[in-house]
Structure 1
Amino acid sequence: MKLLIIAGLILAVAFSGCLGSDDDVVDEPDNNTTAEATHFYKNVTVEDNDTVVKFELTSNPSTGYGWTATANKTGILNETVNNVATPDMVGAPGVHTFSYKAQAAGTVELNFKYERSFENNTTLEDLTYVIQVYQNNTVEILSVTSPTGNLLPLSKNVTLENNSTAVKMMFTENPTTGYTWNISMTPSDVLNISKDHFDTPATDLVGAAGVHTWQFESLKAGNVSLVFNHNRSFEDNSTTEIVVFGLKTNTDKTIEIRSISLDTVTNVQ
């Protein structure tokens, strides 16, 4: 699912290994951005004998938008790559790559915002990853969260539960639109779905979105690809987003999040 996604994205705002914070959150992004601004691509992987976590985020400097990253703690991860690869075609999107190598044991939150640094209220995406670094310098992705945004209103909250023996995934869903999340697993015998529940919104507003929660527990050791497809099951070519999690289950029933990729295919209304 690599790399077809267009994004009206990025004035490459570099940040140093000493990361600060930016709590500006937006209501209304710039109305001058094109529909292409909603096409994001994200790929997050654990590499180099599990000691490095790499983030690849679609970006487009020609729009004035760029990714900034902040960490809530220093000294746990060391930034080794912060680079924007731009294509030869003028105005085409490229990929902003961030890599972090484990430096010390601990838990750290990495937050990525896609916005125009020179304008207020322009955030198009806000992602927070919780990363655990162990004593042997191996890295594990514990969770990823994304608040509901204006151009990408598909919130995701993914966490490891019960001493990492279960993984819980909560996605915003609005069945009144005909769109729902449909899941598939390959192979199908590594995880068991222990919970599949939709909570209606706590509001009387017609058309408000609720939250769909799944919980998965391991059946046996192995690797599994868990795919979430947001579409109208009764309509061809209706996919708006595909999220793929690469999970590893161990012999002690613990689960690890090894990779996350997100492909936003069309403009979400």
Structure 2
Amino acid sequence: MLIDSHCHLDMLDLARHDNSLDNVIATARERDVEKMLCVCVDLNKFDAMYQTASRFDNVWFSAGIHPLHVEESPFDRDQLARLAADPRVVALGETGLDYYYSTETLEQQQASFAGHLQLAGELDLPVIVHTRDARDDTIRLIREHGNTESAGVLHCFTESLEMAKSALDLGYMVSFSGIISFRNAAELREVVKAVPLDRMLVETDSPYLAPVPFRGKQNQPAYVAEVAACVAELKGVSVEQVSEQTTANFHKLFKRTRTS
């Protein structure tokens, strides 16, 4: 069994799936992708996201504000805490820092990220972290405001091995997406080889970043099978071993999924 640890089911163009999310879920199950985590990027859109996918018992949710949405969705501790009270909300995020696309909101990004980290620690929930071109500040804020017990994951990881090691030292996991299959991702593939399998997750980040051989098409949870196959090849283990270990890692990190 595989778990897509990070997807955006509410952002899929369902016209490509006969206008039915049921078809997306069914296609995933045909590829042995039995469960998935639907990730929030804007608290204003959480309710719509939840309504879209909550009827499926194999989908969990997160609640959070993406760093590129901090202006239209400012950090709201009370609202975030209220959403996190739902047992199907298993993490806060995605939150973090993105200096690649925006440095104009740097202070807002940092304040929002710190707020997510602090609240997650109090609630004993992991944090889903987006980080791009902000290595030092990301690790610094995790050190200053995070809880190493509840920890979290650096999702869709594209940064350096040094940063990955720093995150691992803080109790975090590292998640890899279809980017690892891209021709120009040789350096990232070396990071995959170095990160221990028991500290790793796999994801699609769908509808974005479809892996080879689907690059250029809309991504979907079923394609996490290609990510797992790429990890298996890079680490010299079986796909079954990657599936079993990343599933165990998922349930270890996202504690609420063990009973919900």
TM-score clears 0.5: no
Which of structures 1 and 2 has the larger relative contact order (alpha carbons within 8 angstroms, sep 6+)? Answer: 2
Which protein has the larger Cα radius of gyration, Structure 1 or Structure 2? 1
TM-score, normalising length: structure 2: 0.31
Higher strand share: 1
